[in-house]
């Protein structure tokens, strides 16, 4: 049967090459007993492909059972899949067959298989390898002959690394991988799908079908459909039910898919930018960039701090020296303004009949002691009024406050 005929039989809409390719793979693998793993984003229509595989297999006249693993509680999943004996646990009033027993000689589709608990994965691996299973509360080994098709939207590499999924089970399931394209990868089908959904809802609710103008169509086709076909179908139904005017323009369409939700952030995929590592999601790329930025900022802070300390030390020394020099210059009784207990290289202020020269002097008094004395004297003179004392000393009030705190005056 041709791909186009398969699409008509199963109600699959679209003409993109990627869609046609995965349908052809499903048809080709159907005649074998190989396990098939269907992957793809949520809402891309993974549930159609196990039906195609079953329909074109020699098992088509036997049972087809679809199981949503994510919807079954962890405490009952083993019982649901493999059955249980009467009295094997509280509430087990009767003997029960599991899905693998019911689907014998047929096909079982395990949707959201990534949600299976680890202990259930071990049981499933045994069924795939040997066709054997044991009911809950029984010691008898039973046989089953089923074709297994599984589907998920999880990242298996990440799940295996985190210990949430068995690696050996993954390779058993992944004999034939089928990866379904997202709606954003088949944009040529978006308007076609929207028209089909609009027609179906018009028939369902007995009202005229809606139409969209060219501007609205372009917006629809270029929108970032994170929810894939399911999201497109929901929006089509909302418009079909709510809008009285069956001719929808861009302004009306944006009421259901606002423009701010259509913003696309830049995606980084260059391996050089992310240190040649493979990231499972855009979030991990973002975390990597933020981490690198934080490291660079911290390095910059350290560098600035070191430079600042050096500059502060130099500035503080010369500023204090000059300030004290100014204070002593105003004191008539003071004769040697360099008597500060410092070993410094200075330019002597020229005196009468003396040439300018640089000399190194060593003094006996401490700068710190002199500062304390001067600050105390200024504060006493001005009755602890810091603003007046700072003017007297020739320094800012802030510097004076820092000195008082530093010397514990």
CATH number for the domain harbouring residue 241: 1.10.8.60
408 within a domain of the structure (yes/no): no
Report yes or no: 62 and 108 within 8 Å, Cβ to Cβ.
no
Query: What is the tally of structural domains in the chain?
Result: 2
Dist CA 362 CA 83 (whole Å): 97
Q: Please report where in the chains the tokens 């199981």 appear, as a residue.
A: 67
For 55, the token pair is 């329909």
Residue 178 parent element (H or E)? strand 176-179
Last residue of a domain, which of 262, 291, 323? Answer: 262
Which whole-number Å values give the CA distances from 204 to 7, 11, 142, 197, 308, in the listed order?
Answer: 22, 16, 47, 10, 74
The answer on 146 and 24 residing in a single domain is yes
Say which DSSP state 61 is in.
T
- Ranges of residues in the chain with a pLDDT under 50 are 260-281, 317-318, 321, 324-325, 327-329, 331-365
Report yes or no: 40 and 153 within 8 Å, Cβ to Cβ.
yes
Instruction: List phi, psi (to 5°) of 85.
Output: -90, 160
159 within a domain of the structure (yes/no): yes
The answer on 10 and 77 residing in a single domain is yes
Bridge-based pairing of strands 358-362 and 211-212 is unpaired
Dist CA 32 CA 10 (whole Å): 21
The answer on 128 and 217 residing in a single domain is no
Q: Which residue range forms the structural domain that includes residue 226?
A: 184-262
The answer on 204 and 176 residing in a single domain is no
Report yes or no: 210 and 246 within 8 Å, Cβ to Cβ.
yes
Last residue of a domain, which of 165, 181, 197? Answer: 181
Confirm whether pTM is higher than 0.75. no
Dist CA 36 CA 172 (whole Å): 9
For 88, the token pair is 């094997």
44 within a domain of the structure (yes/no): yes
305 within a domain of the structure (yes/no): no
pLDDT for 369: 79
pLDDT for 367: 65
Last residue of a domain, which of 215, 239, 262? Answer: 262
Q: What is the CATH number of the domain that holds 74?
A: 3.40.50.300
Give 290: exposed, middle or buried? Use CB within 10 Å, 0-12, 13-18, 19+: exposed
Dist CA 315 CA 307 (whole Å): 12
pLDDT for 355: 43
The answer on 204 and 173 residing in a single domain is no
pLDDT for 32: 94
Residue 244 parent element (H or E)? none
For 310, the token pair is 């050096």
Dist CA 102 CA 385 (whole Å): 95
């Amino acid at each position: 049967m041709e791909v186009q005929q398969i699409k008509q039989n199963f109600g699959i809409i679209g003409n993109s090459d990627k869609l046609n390719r995965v349908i052809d793979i499903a048809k080709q693998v159907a005649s074998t007993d190989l396990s098939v793993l269907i992957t793809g984003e949520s809402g891309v229509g993974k549930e159609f492909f196990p039906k195609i595989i079953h329909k074109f297999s020699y098992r088509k006249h036997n049972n087809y059972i679809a199981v949503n693993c994510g919807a079954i509680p962890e405490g009952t999943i083993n019982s649901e899949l493999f059955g249980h004996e009467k009295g094997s646990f509280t509430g087990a009033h009767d003997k029960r067959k599991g899905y693998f027993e019911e689907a014998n000689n047929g096909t079982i589709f395990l949707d959201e298989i990534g949600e299976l608990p680890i202990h259930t994965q071990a049981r499933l691996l045994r069924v795939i390898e040997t066709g054997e299973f044991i009911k809950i509360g029984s010691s008898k080994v039973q046989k089953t002959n089923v074709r297994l098709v599984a589907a998920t939207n999880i990242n298996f590499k990440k799940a295996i690394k985190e210990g949430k999924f068995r690696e050996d089970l993954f390779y058993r399931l992944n004999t034939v991988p089928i990866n379904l394209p997202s709606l954003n990868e088949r944009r040529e089908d978006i308007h076609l799908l929207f028209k089909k959904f609009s027609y179906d809802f018009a028939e369902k609710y007995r009202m005229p079908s809606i139409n969209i103008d060219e501007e609205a169509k372009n917006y629809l086709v270029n929108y970032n459909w994170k929810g894939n076909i399911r999201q497109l179908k929901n929006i089509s139904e909302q418009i079909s039910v709510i809008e009285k005017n069956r001719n929808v323009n861009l302004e009306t369409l944006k009421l259901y898919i606002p423009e701010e939700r259509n913003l696309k952030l830049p995606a980084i995929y260059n391996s050089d930018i992310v240190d040649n590592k493979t990231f499972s999601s855009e979030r991990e790329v973002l975390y990597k960039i933020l981490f690198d930025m934080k490291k660079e900022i911290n390095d910059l802070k350290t560098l600035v701090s070191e430079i600042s300390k050096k500059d502060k030390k130099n500035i503080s020394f010369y500023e204090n020296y000059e300030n004290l020099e100014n204070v002593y210059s105003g004191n008539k009784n003071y004769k040697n303004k360099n008597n500060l207990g410092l070993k410094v290289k200075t330019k002597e202020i020229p005196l009468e009949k003396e040439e300018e020269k640089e000399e190194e002097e060593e003094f006996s008094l401490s700068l710190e002691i002199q500062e304390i004395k001067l600050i105390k004297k200024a504060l006493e003179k001005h009755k602890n009024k810091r603003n007046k004392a700072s003017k007297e000393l020739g320094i800012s009030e802030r510097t004076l406050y820092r000195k008082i705190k530093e010397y514990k005056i």
